[in-house]
Structure 1
Amino acid sequence: MEFLLYIYLFVFGLILGSFYNVVGIRLANGESIVTPRSHCPRCNHQLMAWELIPVFSYIFQRGKCKNCGTSISIKYPLFECATATLFTISPLLVGWSKELLIALLLISLVIIITISDLEKMIIPNKVLLFFAGIMLIIRIFIPTEPWWDAYLAAIIGFLLLLLIAIVSKGGMGGGDVKLFFILGLFVGVKGVFFTLFFASLFGLIYGLIMMAKQKLQRKQPIPFGPFIGLAALVVYYMEEELSVFLDWLWNVSI
């Protein structure tokens, strides 16, 4: 029975991953997520139901539009698989509990903002407002310990990123600042600082690698949302282990 639940989560993740592609790309481009129907951006061919099957349609069509032959970006099946995989492993990490709902919401937020940030270097306000509203309500029924930790973390996350944005004079986008408010509701006060640390680390490593390959210039802007999202997932699932490690490090140092 539990095996069937994992299969259900995987399929559910594939379907939502396909929808998140639409949400992330369309909102980043200022378009409606309802109309028009899914279509090829090159020839405007409206996609039939069998052309919208997550991952499998991409494989069957060999990554090309059936009508005009234009290549379809690999990012579509990648994000579908990423969503499905993260959905499936979440019960292994948080259990079949109320916390699973929060884990799935965090995954959904991270996938959508990553897609939109990679598309146009924008984290849409509509996405942020949607998840902020949901999490503010959910934390009433699924509180942190202590209950105020999530709300305090949201405030600290917002103010901390706002300060960085002011000091860096535009080095941090407004979407990143608002995103940290929401992430605070997911990861708590400790998690906010962990997330900022790991996001900065991931971004630095990426920047150094791209500069070494001469694919990135100094002070060239990069989408920071994906690194924040990845860091938030790492911290959410491993915050207890990270706290234990820090305590051990502190004891060793003194």
Structure 2
Amino acid sequence: MQIFYLVYFFIIGTVFGSFYNVVGLRVPEKKMFQSQRSYCPQCRHTLSWYELIPVVSYLIQFGKCRNCKQKISIIYPLVELLTGVLFAYSYYVFGFQLELITSLLLISLLVIIIVTDLSYMLIPNRILIFFVPFFIILRVLSPLEPWWSPIAGALIGFVLLAIIIIVSNGGMGGGDMKLFAVLGMVLGYKGVLLAFFFSTLYGSIVGGLLQGFKVVERKKPIPFGPFIVFGTITAFFFGDEMIKWYITTFF
């Protein structure tokens, strides 16, 4: 039965991942409800149902549009796979507990952020505002220890990024600041600090490699959203164990 639910959540995750691709591409351009059907961004061909099967359609079509034969961005299937894997892992970690809903919503937010930041270098306010009420309710129903941790986490996330923005003269964006405030509400004060640490660590390593291999030019802005996403995932799923290991090892 465990395997059945893992497969189930993986499939559901890929379906939602396909939808989050659409949300991430349309919300910044305010086109979310202007067209009910998905279409090829190159030739505007309306996609049929069999062209919209998560991951499978991309593989069958060899990563190309059936109509214009232009390449489809690899971001689409990667986002679908990532969402599926994280949905399944969430069930594996939490089972049918309330924290599972928190995990699925957090993953949903993060996946949309990946799409918007990679596509537009933007973290839309309306996306954050949509998720905030759900996280508030969930943290009331499933509180962290101590109870004030989400409040402190939100404040720390906001203030920490605000200071960095001021000191670096805009080295990070206001969207990152607001996102960390929301993440602090979910992760608590310890978790948001850990998420920030891993975000900057991943960003430094990957950014350094990209510049070292001349994939991107020096001083050219790199979307920081994906690094925040993976830093947050690390902190959310493994943060407690890391903190316990650190305390028992060094104190």
Deviation at 1:7, TM superposition (A): 2.0
1:12 match: secondary structure? helix
Report the Cα distance in structure 1 between the residues aligned to 2:242 and 2:177, rounded to whole angstroms.
24
Deviation at 1:169, TM superposition (A): 0.6
> Which residue identity does 2:10 align to in structure 1?
F
Task: Confirm or deny: 8 A CA contact 2:9 2:91 kept in the other structure.
Answer: no
1:180 correspondence with 2:180: yes
Deviation at 1:248, TM superposition (A): 2.9
> Which residue identity does 1:151 align to in structure 2?
I
1:200 correspondence with 2:200: yes
- Percent identity of equivalent pairs: 46
Report the Cα distance in structure 2 between the residues aligned to 1:47 and 1:198, rounded to whole angstroms.
39
Q: Find runs of 4+ consecutive structure 1 residues off by over 3 angstroms.
A: none
Task: Confirm or deny: 8 A CA contact 2:110 2:229 kept in the other structure.
Answer: yes
> How many residues are paired up?
250
Report the TM-score when normalising by structure 1: 0.94
1:49 correspondence with 2:45: no
1:211 correspondence with 2:205: no
> Which residue identity does 1:248 align to in structure 2?
T
Which is worse superposed, 33-42 or 235-244? 33-42
Report the Cα distance in structure 1 between the residues aligned to 2:151 and 2:95, rounded to whole angstroms.
24
Report the Cα distance in structure 2 between the residues aligned to 1:12 and 1:34, rounded to whole angstroms.
22
> Which residue identity does 2:33 align to in structure 1?
V
* Other-structure match for 1:60: 60
2:127 match: secondary structure? helix
Deviation at 1:213, TM superposition (A): 0.6
Report the Cα distance in structure 2 between the residues aligned to 1:134 and 1:32, rounded to whole angstroms.
24
Deviation at 1:247, TM superposition (A): 0.7
* Other-structure match for 2:102: 102
Deviations 1:185-209 (A, max 9, x none): 1111011111111111111001210
Deviation at 1:161, TM superposition (A): 0.6
Report the Cα distance in structure 1 between the residues aligned to 2:65 and 2:153, rounded to whole angstroms.
45
* Other-structure match for 1:34: 33
* Other-structure match for 1:4: 4
Task: Confirm or deny: 8 A CA contact 2:154 2:185 kept in the other structure.
Answer: yes
Which is worse superposed, 94-103 or 221-230? 94-103
> Which residue identity does 1:8 align to in structure 2?
Y
Structure 1 unaligned segments of length 5 or more: list them.
none
The equivalences for 1:56-135 within 5 A come to 56-135=56-135
Report the Cα distance in structure 1 between the residues aligned to 2:230 and 2:112, rounded to whole angstroms.
12
Structure 2 unaligned segments of length 5 or more: list them.
none
Report the Cα distance in structure 2 between the residues aligned to 1:104 and 1:142, rounded to whole angstroms.
14
* Other-structure match for 2:240: 240
Report the Cα distance in structure 1 between the residues aligned to 2:45 and 2:215, rounded to whole angstroms.
34
Report the Cα distance in structure 2 between the residues aligned to 1:247 and 1:239, rounded to whole angstroms.
12
> Which residue identity does 2:17 align to in structure 1?
G
Deviation at 1:220, TM superposition (A): 1.8
Aligned-pair Cα RMSD in Å:
1.3
Report the TM-score when normalising by structure 2: 0.95
Deviations 1:38-73 (A, max 9, x none): 111121111111111111111222211111111111
> Which residue identity does 1:15 align to in structure 2?
V
